[in-house]
Structure formats: structure tokens, C-alpha cells
Amino acid sequence: MKNIQTGFAFLLVLVSTLHLTEASGEQVATSSGFRSIFSGTDLSQWHGEGTMDPRKLAAMPEEERAEKMALWQKDAIAHWKAEDGELINDGHGVYLTTDQSYGDFELLIEYKTIPQADSGIYLKSNPQVQIWNHQAERLSAGQDKGSGGLWNNSPGAPGKDPSEIADRPFGEWNQFRILQVGTRTSVWLNDKHIVDHAIMENYWDRKMPLVAKGPIQLQTHGGEIRWRNIMIREIEPEEANEILRSHDNDGFTVLSNGQDLSNWAGAADNYEVVDGAIRCKKGKGGVLHTPEEYADFVARIEFKLPPAGNNGLAIRYPGSGDPAYAGMCELQVLDTEHPRYQSIDPRQAHGSAYGMIAAQRGYLRPTGEWNFQEVTVRGSKIKVELNGTVILDGDLEGVTEFMANSPHPGKDLKQGFFGFAGHGDAVEFRNVQIKTLP
């Protein structure tokens, strides 16, 4: 717990010691990691872009997309300008959009708007961290709650409404601090923590997660808005994993002691502990599992794949047999994007309930980097969150079609062991934790 608290203290100190200086209208970061993405004098690093599903935009024919982008850019130049260190929009036109796409990041940004304006900040091209006037004469639904919520989340979803009103009076500058790891989003407005680690839902298709990387967009919505001191810090995997691991971590039991396999059962001879991590010996396999059985639980792990690496998480494993069939399921741990696996069934991709339910692809970190994964098992339902993004959320009870028509007799097991299903590759696991659910 001490290391986790230290990590967050570092983040808070880093933000509190970030000072901005103005030299020739340009904001310069004096703390390590943050950099300005607005020069203060022009629109470089930004372009115009309309509100659009980023997957559909990427799927357009190149010529059609270029034509649309050119029209958007012309529109942006007509309605946006840089003046005296401020980025100003007249209330109309397309959204100003970063040239660069971001995955995990921390954003600092200040804004000032007029009483009747309505605006927001799109993250990964997705609406939005809301900006509006909670004291307007006419209030739309939710407007009385103040700015900073993930307004386009579903009604009642965490983060949709800010936890408190943190807006300053109109005419004053407000500052956002926004932290996003995967889809997990936290928002501070004027130093008040108003959204805590909430999943930002995909407005364009709620059955899909956000894209893994995307630009930041500044919304225009009928009234002048000004922005300044726009700074960003990209978050590296080690820090991202710590943020994910440290949130709501009460009640977890550590399963990996970092020294040996004395607290594990099963194929212990086929695994080893290297630099504190459990590693399947190359060319070996079998199931290394807990000595205790679990019914409903949450498991958290970090894993690292070698090129083309293949392993799995044994869920409610009975202690013998193939965990993919004899157990409730095997959750794939696989270097899915390796050319060796280009023709696999979707139900074999990383995070999938093997042969039964396919996980969303595209959220693994590059081979050789540590990934963070959380698995929640309740009854027949199973959810997999990879690096802050939910890639599988399904119910095995309703599965009737199986890959290769192979039956899964164990899928309805109510309890069993948790472990690793090795397949001959040196896949590593560390920081293995589990929490029993009531």
C-alpha cells in the first residue's frame, strides 16, 4: 500500500509544482513530463475536425477523407484564432482537434466562457467532459450539477454527473485536470476531484469501448469560449498500471510472493520465479493454480508476453483436464496481433472466453511491456478489463455456439481454482491479487 500511496503523492506534487511562464505569448512547462500543445500565437499542432465516430472516419477511402478534412480545416480557420496567449472560438464552426492522438495521458487546460455558452472537451474523439453554466436562466437536464461530468455516459452511470459543483463565477478562468488511462477517466475542476476513475462510454457505439488512441477536441457550442495553458503529459505503462492497480484495492489477497511457488499447486515444476514474476518455462506448460477454490471473485494481474506468446487464465478450474473445456473457461493470454495468429477464430483472441465469447481486440500493449488486467466473475457472468478498457463483458450461460462445435462441459461450474494455463511460451505474471466477492 505504501508504494501506491507514494505514486499518487508524486502525481499530486507534480501537478502542484507545475508553473507556467509566458515568453512571447508561449506557455512553457517547467516540470518534467508536461509539454505545451498550444503555442499561444497560432493554431499549429491543431486542426479542424467535425464530430464523428473515429472508426468511421478511419474507414473512409483516403481521397474522401482528405476532402472532408480540408473542408473542416477551412471552417476552423474561419472561427478559431490565437491571440495574446489565448485560443479563442467565436461559438461556431468545427471542433479544434489535436494533430496527435493520445492513449494514456494527463491533460491540464484552462477555459473561460460566457453565461449562455455550452461546450466540452472530447477525449479520443468521444464526447465529453462537459462545460456549461449551472446557474443559467433555463437549465437543461443535468445542467444544475455543474461542469466536469462525463455527460454522454448513460443515465445513472458513474461519472455522468460531477460529485459537486466546482465552477467559478462566469468571467473567471477555470482549470481542468483530466487523467485518462484506457477508458478510466478522472476529472478535477479547480482542484476539486469531481469524477473518480469512471469508464468513459463510447457515445458512437455503446457496445464498443473507446478507440485505444485518439485526439483531444475542443467543442464549440453557440457562445464564445477561450482556452489557455494547454499542457499534456503522456503516461507510460508502469505508471498506468500503478494507477489501475491502486484504485479500490481493499480486500485483495496477494497470490504471488515474488520469491517462489510454495503457495501454488498444480504444474509447479513447469513454472519459475524470475525477478519477482511467475514465468512459464519455455517449452513447458500445464496449469499452475491456487490451492483454494473460488466462486465469485475479482482477480488482478500484470502480464508480459514474448513475441507470439500464448498462455491463459484458468477460471474455476476443477484441478484436472483442459481448463478451456473442463473449467468454467480459459481466458486467453495471447499476443493476438502476431502474424502467427492472423487467421484465428475471434473467440481465440486475447481476453476471450476461449471458444465461447470473443473479446475486443487492439488494446494490448506492445510485446515485452507489462499489461494490467482485471477479471470479474459473478455467477455465469465474466468481465475482462485490459489496461483500463473493458474488452469482454458476457454471460456464459447463454452461449450455445462453440468454436469447432466443441462442447464446454465445465462452463456452468459454480466454483474452482484460479491459475495459469501454460502452452509452452515464457509468458510472465506479477502482482497477482484476488478478492472474494460475497
State the pTM of this model: 0.91
Burial grade of 259 (CB within 10 A; 0-12, 13-18, 19 or more): exposed
Chain centroid to CA 55:
17
> Which tens digit of pLDDT belongs to each residue from 333-344?
999 999 999 999
- State the pLDDT at residue 32: 67
Whole-number Å distance between alpha carbons of 157 and 151: 10
Whole-number Å distance between alpha carbons of 374 and 248: 12
- State the pLDDT at residue 140: 81
Domains of the chain: 2-241 (2.60.120.560), 252-436 (2.60.120.560)
405 SS3 class: helix
| Residue carrying the nine cell digits 454471460 | 395
| Residue carrying the nine cell digits 464523428 | 52
150 SS3 class: strand
- State the pLDDT at residue 223: 87
- 360 near 352, Cβ under 8 Å? no
Neighbours of 154 (CB within 10 A): 10
SS3 content of the chain, % helix, strand, coil (to 5): 15, 40, 45
- Spans of the chain below 50 pLDDT: 1-30
* DSSP annotation string for 168-225: PPTTS-EEEEEEEETTEEEEEETTEEEEEEEE---SS-TTSPPPSSB-EEE---SS-E
58 SS3 class: helix
Helices (H), 221-317: 237-246
